[in-house]
Amino acid sequence: MRFGKLLGLAALAMLVASRAMALDLNEWSSIQMPPPPELKPATVNPKTTALFLFDFMTENCGARPRCVEIVPKLKALQEKARAANMPVFFTLPGNNKPIDPALTPRAGELVDQKQGGPDKFLNDDLDQQLRAKGIKTVIVCGTSGQGVGLGTGAAAVQRGFEVVYPIDCNPSESAFREAYTAWHMGGGGPPVTTRHVTLTRSDMIKFGG
């Protein structure tokens, strides 16, 4: 009987400990932000790298100032990629217009995205298109960091691709959403994913031979 009582006390202690470890929303204001993740330079091989410019449309990006602000950086990155003969992939769900005419896909650049959503590999042949071109690394730029950036970035790693994630090309509705996505991709997420991600900035990306 004494042994049974000890087991009961042990179970109660474990229950109390588990409750103490669970997130209580009353603690929200006292949670300290972690240090910012480290940005690293990235040198990519244009022959085995593709640039993703996903969902940058007037309908969504045009309604968010933080997205509109980064359009010049997207255009600059696109120009460098095309100059290096690097494949560029776009998605414009619903046949919506790109946020800027310069971000209009050329023939063969538009991914046949049948539905919207954060994971652009889902229900699409994007994986096969990339492998057919010998792609091993993708530069992920999406209209929302917490959506396409995180969703497609993580999905690319899970399919065996290396990911370059420029934080200034994955905007969101708020700085906090951009920050928690950058923290996740930069090492805060599961190591099985994040060790294949280079967190960087668009002007830190170099195109090698």
Global confidence as pTM: 0.87
Q: What is the pLDDT of residue 20?
A: 52
Quote the pLDDT of residue 117: 86
**DSSP letter string, 88-119:** EEEE-GGGPPBSSGGGPPPTT-B----S-SS-
pLDDT, position 209: 65
Strand partners, 44: 207
* CATH label, 37-207, candidates 2.40.170.20, 3.40.50.1820, 3.40.50.620, 3.40.50.850: 3.40.50.850
Count of beta carbons in the 10 Å neighbourhood of residue 149: 31
Cα dist from 76 to 25, 46, 145, whole Å: 42, 16, 19
Using DSSP's 3-state secondary structure scheme, residue 173 falls into: coil
The pLDDT of residue 24: 77
Per-residue pLDDT of the chain (209 residues; tens, 9 = 90+): 444 443 444 454 454 454 555 667 888 888 888 999 999 999 999 999 999 999 999 999 999 999 999 999 999 999 999 999 999 999 999 888 999 999 999 998 988 777 778 999 998 999 999 999 999 999 999 999 999 999 999 999 999 999 999 999 999 999 999 999 999 999 999 999 999 999 999 999 999 86
Domain residues of the chain, as ranges? 37-207
In this structure, the strands spanning 197-200 and 162-166 are parallel
What pLDDT was estimated at residue 15? Answer: 47
Cα distances from 141 to residues 30, 83, 113, 190, in angstroms, run: 33, 18, 16, 21
